[in-house]
Amino acid sequence: MNKTHRILASVSGGVALFLAITVVLLHWRYDIAWLVAYLFMINVVAFVAFIVDKTAQKLEKRRVPEKGLLTLAILGGTIGAFLGMAMLRHKIAKKSFFITLWLIVALQIALWFIWITTTS
């Protein structure tokens, strides 16, 4: 792991820890704030994962597996994944990845709709 990867890993780990602590603190104080904080955190982590993967691609180093990037999207990081794709122009030519990401979005929308209609 080179210096750039160590710095990115440290920063993303620190951000993830800070946001995890924030989620716990907000959960005690507010009702829905934990969900907003979690979604913010997972999207930051997904975006950073795309940065790490793009950097590794340029340096011809070991890459972040697509399975890992898609897992972050499944866990709620779809906005971070799409921002990473758009801003870094990364994974945009791979149709299977793009289609899978859109299928994840469709699933999340369906689950959100089910949650909204059953809780109100």
pLDDT score, position 5: 54
- Hey, CA dihedral for 84, 76, 64, 98, is it positive or negative? negative
pLDDT score of 36: 80
> pLDDT-based confidence at 111, cuts 50/70/90?
confident
Tokens standing for 60?
């011809």
| Cα–Cα dist 19/77, whole Å | 14
CB 39 within 8 A of CB 19: no
Average pLDDT over residues 45-70: 92
How much is the pTM?
0.72
Give the pLDDT confidence of 10-45 residue by residue, as tens digits: 555 555 556 666 666 656 555 677 778 888 999 999
Q: Which of the four pLDDT bands, split at 50, 70 and 90, describes residue 2? A: low
**pLDDT of 89 strictly over 80:** yes
Distance CA 15, CA 37 (A): 12
Q: What is the 3-state secondary structure (H, E, C) of the chain?
A: CCHHHHHHHHHHHHHHHHHHHHHHHHHHHCCCHHHHHHHHHHHHHHHHHHHHHHHHHHCCCCCCCHHHHHHHHHHHHHHHHHHHHHHHCCCCCCHHHHHHHHHHHHHHHHHHHHHHHHHC
